Structure 1
Amino acid sequence: MKILSALLLFVSVIFTTAFTSNVPTAYKIGDTATDFKLKSVDGKMYSMSDYKSAKGFIVVFTCNHCPFAKKYEDRINDLAKKYKSKGYILLAINPNDPVAEPADSFDMMKVRAKEKGFAFPYLLDEGQKIFPQYGATKTPHVFLLDKNRIVKYIGAIDDNVDSAADVKEKYLENAIAALESGKTPSPETTKAIGCSIKVKK
């Protein structure tokens, strides 16, 4: 009986390990983010390694259809323009499955980028492999990385979804300012407010 119990326990451990070892875990502050290579609306492939002299990266998971993402589009565009000259590269990633949400198809991404004049690579997480690694759960959801791809801030862009004019706390910009001065961002994490990421059923 003891041998049988031990055998069952062994099989259970092997089974559990086999099905969990490849499950990605969400990044935490201090983790090193893995680089990616994703297709942008301009037809080119982009990765962080393309930017050898970057001081850091602003990775934003966003999309076309989400009302929250739409409210932040202009702010994201402004951030991309403002911080590119300071050495911070903004890369926007659409994590949604186009079957689950047709409005977020690659063709529709092209249309949206042209309409809004996006000043940043708008990338498709084809196969939905990248957002689970980061632990993104909303659109928009922001991850600030330093030049070595160390995660320094995770969360919301600021404290007011509805009105850029009424923002009191610019979480992302404050985090970048902290990095610039050699300090630790405070807060390091905030709650991302937005739509849930749409996955294939």
Structure 2
Amino acid sequence: MRKIIGSLCLVIGLITTVHAQKALKVGEVLPDLALLSTKGNVYDLKAQKAAKGFILVFMTPTCDHCIAYEPRIMALDKKYKVKGFPVVAIGPYGDDPIKYPLDAMPEMKKLAINKQFTFPYLSDDHFKYTWLLGIKETPTAVVLQKKANGFLIKYIGKIDDEQNQKLIPKNKFVEQEVNKLLTK
């Protein structure tokens, strides 16, 4: 009985430690990011030598806001990939088809194929990067600038200020941040 209680305490302590880890903030460095893609390979940011940075977008197949933003996300990739800032989408629930069957890797693969995504769509393993970057809702964008020691976080937040896909946003937050990086 003592072993069982001791084991439970250890597990609870580890879970608490993982969840208590402070999220990285703008101005801090993400050392690397490597996750399984819908194409079956591991996509590693550091391995992308031509990139000057990345536009990460945390999104799920069933989120209405993510669905509305898909054309804008694809437009971001088209516009900024050639300038060295490609989009990389991340599915927070991708590794858990039991708890999240409609947002896990099989649905992510279908979405990427059906929508003909031109960017990698990665599955976050146990919410590692979701928690590390403090992501609380989807879609959320993170702009990263490549540095020698990893990726400097330049922005975490909304893609723009207009959720209605039929309206034109007044402030395109991700574009503004990437454009600042491109003029430096």
User: Is the TM value for this pair above 0.5?
Assistant: yes
TM-score norm. by structure 2 comes to: 0.84
Instruction: Confirm or deny: 8 A CA contact 2:69 2:165 kept in the other structure.
Output: no
1:21 is displaced (CA, Å) by 5.5
**Equivalent position of 1:33 in the other structure:** 30
For residues 117-156 of structure 1, the aligned pairs below 5 Å read 117-148=116-147, 149-156=151-158
Q: In the alignment, is residue 24 of structure 1 matched against residue 21 of structure 2?
A: yes
Selected match of 1:52 from 44, 49, 52 = 49
Aligned-pair Cα RMSD in Å: 1.8
Partners of 2:165 and 2:63 lie apart in 1 by 16
Partners of 2:17 and 2:64 lie apart in 1 by 36
1:151 is displaced (CA, Å) by 0.6
Letter of the 2:179 counterpart: A
**Equivalent position of 1:94 in the other structure:** 91
Partners of 1:164 and 1:157 lie apart in 2 by 15
1:167 is displaced (CA, Å) by 1.0
Partners of 1:112 and 1:163 lie apart in 2 by 18
Q: Compared with structure 1, are the counterparts of its residues 120 and 151 closer, same or farther at alpha carbon in structure 2 (3 Å cutoff)?
A: same
Q: Compared with structure 1, are the counterparts of its residues 177 and 164 closer, same or farther at alpha carbon in structure 2 (3 Å cutoff)?
A: farther
Letter of the 1:145 counterpart: L
Letter of the 1:101 counterpart: Y
For residues 188-199 of structure 1, the aligned pairs below 5 Å read none
TM-score norm. by structure 1 comes to: 0.77
Q: Compared with structure 1, are the counterparts of its residues 49 and 164 closer, same or farther at alpha carbon in structure 2 (3 Å cutoff)?
A: farther
Partners of 2:125 and 2:132 lie apart in 1 by 14
Instruction: Confirm or deny: 8 A CA contact 2:160 2:169 kept in the other structure.
Output: yes
Partners of 2:100 and 2:73 lie apart in 1 by 22
Deviations 1:134-179 (A, max 9, x none): 1111111111011121011110000101125421111100111111
Identity %: 38
Question: Which runs of 4 or more aligned residues in structure 1 lie more than 6 Å from their structure 2 counterparts after TM superposition?
Answer: none
Mean CA deviation greater in 100-109 or 170-179: 100-109
Give 5+ residue unaligned stretches, structure 1: 1-14, 183-201
**Equivalent position of 2:175 in the other structure:** 173
Please tell me whether Structure 1 or Structure 2 has the larger radius of gyration of its CA atoms: 1
Selected match of 1:161 from 144, 150, 163 = 163
Instruction: Confirm or deny: 8 A CA contact 1:30 1:150 kept in the other structure.
Output: yes
Partners of 1:177 and 1:130 lie apart in 2 by 25
Letter of the 1:41 counterpart: T
